[in-house]
Structure 1
Amino acid sequence: MKITSLLTGAILTVGLTAGSVMAQDYPTKPVNYIIPFNAGGESDIAARLQQPVWERITGQPLVIQYMAGAGGAQAWSQLNGMDGDGYTLMGTNLPHIVLQPMAQEVGYKTDDIANVYFFQYTPDAIVVPADSQFKTLEDLVNYAKENPGLVTFSGSGTNSANHVAQTKFDALTGVTTTYVPFSGTSPAIAAVLGDQVQAGFSYSTAAITQGDAMRVLAIASEERVPSFPDVPTFKELGYDMVGGAYRGVGVPNSTPEDVRKQVSDTLDKVNKDPEFIKKMEDGGFVVIDVPYEEVEAFMNERREQYQAVAEQMGIAQK
């Protein structure tokens, strides 16, 4: 009996030690990183900036793949059918994963998504052509007050971060504007430059690519974005508006808690890399650190904010 107990104890000790080594060594092979949108968008750009830092820190490849469709819903609806071993990651976006299931049946519920980290957001920004009559946000607000419904805003889709921003903007300023959804950021920007609309709700990242062709009136960040040091925030102008498209990383919900934590810890190392931070900020992104243990509180806060504007957006909450 004693010999059997000793052997059993030895086996358990070896097993625990091996498990600890595996945990410490994560990852030990290539990791697949699925982006639920087409190449070239903000989610892809951010992932491409993460990729070399991940590989330098871990010594393992981060393989970026694409599963576009239905505004991200095609990928998110399939996430939980994938292996939960820490070697399949998927980009997640807010407000998409809250508003999509709230508005209609999309193949997943918000709580189905096991987010492990949120690492950045692209602040909403009001943009106009460089030759626009609106030189400041006050110009636009005053015009909108005098001409209810006549100011048209382009944005990247219905129930998107841009749509949320336009709804909040109207409520905060007491104006009525008209939101015109487009299939993505690029066509929404093209509509502004082509005078199809008077202004656009876009992101700080998209505004950078337009250079002198576009004027940014205000940005929905806590502090001024380094790429636009002369552009005021909405808060500076008296409107309590901070937000945009938040991006994180999720895993299949079968992924064990310790593995979720390993993935989160690795992403946190990437997110704190000085070179990564500089490249993100130069590109108009705002870097945030929301590790696994803080994700639930972060999601609850964001969900509460989106639910508050859902009815104004015409979303019948389920």
Structure 2
Amino acid sequence: MHKADSPQPPQGPRGLDRRTLLAAGLGALGLNAVPAFAASPFPDRHITLVLPFPGGGMFDAVLRAMGNAAAQDLGQPVVLNHKPGAGGVSGTAGLAMMNEADGYTLSVMHNSVIRHPHITKVSWDPVKDFTYITGLASLTTGIAVAADAPWKSLEDLLADAKARPGQITWGNVGATSANRIYGQRLAKAAGVEINFIPYKGGAEQVAAVLGGHLHVYGDPGFGAMALSGKLRLLATFTDQRLPRWQQVPTVKELGHDLVIESPVGIVAPKGLDPAIALRLQNALQKATKDPDYQRLSAEYDLVPWLLDGAAYQQYATKQFVREKQMLDEIGFKPS
């Protein structure tokens, strides 16, 4: 008797058994599935833009208009997220400590962030720990008082400050902001003693001036209130008189060579894919041509300051050195 032959696997076309066919089929399926698992085009969800200031200020309106316009180009919403603290530093600094950069978290960058490591010890580097996306605009700092205040000019204000040492109060956003530092430099140059008061945001500071709790508003963002007649603009820390405020002198022309450069831009955490950085740069710069953005920028006296990411990075590198020199000039001692 012959032994029964061992069962053989069913044969498929051309003698291939089912296991071979199954393996081949799975291989083909895997190959065909690759595009489904490939990275989706950026962006495929909303982008968060961190505002390192409280809500209700100048940045709310301007950057919301920019975000809305950029969303049209990007195809995804740009959502504002307020993270105030440390004079507008904490929210931006948070990005420097993120482990990954994917383009979905951005922040407003301003020179107080670049200055901060000279003021106190931090674990991040403003030059190395951000991807610089684009410069946007330069802020205009003014010296403004309530419309019914007794001072009609900067000279009046400084004369009163000299007659009443330490009794004139002057507000700024952040105790170490450039506007605070330049206010101190002006007081020193004029030989007067002024009481500088830090505020969390511009809206809070304006409310204090209008309520009679603060004498001087010393920051950007005065435009709307000055146009409405609620604030009186005495001078600006600009190189030349502003087109909209030709009747208002600059601090420089009044004999004090003090001009504030206060640009803002957008950054991401370090290590962002250059292709994503370029996509964001182009969308955000395109958004600055939006009519709503331009109208609000003019309302708040913003000066266009469009830089590509590489140029913004170079500016930050040089500004980091300049900030140290400025602090040394006023004798600031880091904490």
State whether TM-score is above 0.5. Answer: yes
1:103 corresponds to which letter in structure 2? I
Following the alignment from structure 1 to structure 2, what is the Cα–Cα distance between the partners of residues 186 and 273? Answer: 25
1:115 corresponds to which letter in structure 2? Y
Following the alignment from structure 1 to structure 2, what is the Cα–Cα distance between the partners of residues 313 and 42? Answer: 29
How far the C-alpha of 1:27 sits from its partner, in A, is 4.0
Following the alignment from structure 2 to structure 1, what is the Cα–Cα distance between the partners of residues 121 and 263? Answer: 22
1:62 corresponds to which letter in structure 2? V
Aligned to 2:91: 75
Aligned to 2:61: 45
Q: Output the TM-score relative to the length of structure 2.
A: 0.75
The answer as to whether partners of 1:226 and 1:282 remain within 8 angstroms in 2 is no
How far the C-alpha of 1:290 sits from its partner, in A, is 2.1
The answer as to whether partners of 1:121 and 1:286 remain within 8 angstroms in 2 is yes
1:174-219 deviation line (CA, Å, top 9, x unaligned): 544332223332333333334444423122x245236323211012
Q: Secondary structure at the match of 1:53?
A: helix
Change (3 A) 1:304 1:137: farther
Aligned to 2:171: 154
How far the C-alpha of 1:249 sits from its partner, in A, is 0.9
Change (3 A) 1:27 1:225: farther
Following the alignment from structure 1 to structure 2, what is the Cα–Cα distance between the partners of residues 138 and 251? Answer: 43
Of residues 81, 86, 91, the one that matches 1:65 is 81
Question: Unaligned stretches of 5+ in structure 2?
Answer: 1-34
* Number of matched pairs: 298
Following the alignment from structure 2 to structure 1, what is the Cα–Cα distance between the partners of residues 85 and 215? Answer: 29
Aligned to 2:259: 242
Of residues 110, 117, 123, the one that matches 1:101 is 117
Aligned to 1:266: 283
Change (3 A) 1:27 1:242: farther
Deviates further, 279-288 or 191-200: 191-200
Q: Secondary structure at the match of 1:119?
A: strand
Q: Higher Cα Rg: structure 1 or 2? A: 2
Following the alignment from structure 1 to structure 2, what is the Cα–Cα distance between the partners of residues 244 and 272? Answer: 22
The answer as to whether partners of 1:154 and 1:199 remain within 8 angstroms in 2 is yes
The answer as to whether partners of 1:144 and 1:175 remain within 8 angstroms in 2 is yes
Following the alignment from structure 1 to structure 2, what is the Cα–Cα distance between the partners of residues 274 and 293? Answer: 27
1:65-119 deviation line (CA, Å, top 9, x unaligned): 2333444444334314253122221222222x13332222355332323332221
How far the C-alpha of 1:266 sits from its partner, in A, is 2.4
Structural mapping, 1:278-293, within 5 Å: 278-293=295-310
The answer as to whether partners of 2:179 and 2:260 remain within 8 angstroms in 1 is no
The answer as to whether partners of 1:128 and 1:216 remain within 8 angstroms in 2 is yes
Following the alignment from structure 2 to structure 1, what is the Cα–Cα distance between the partners of residues 325 and 165? Answer: 23
Q: Secondary structure at the match of 1:40?
A: coil
Q: Output the TM-score relative to the length of structure 1.
A: 0.78
For the pair 1:185 / 2:202, whether they are aligned, the reply is yes
Report the RMSD for the aligned CA atoms in angstroms. 3.3
User: As a proportion of its length, which structure holds more helix?
Assistant: 1
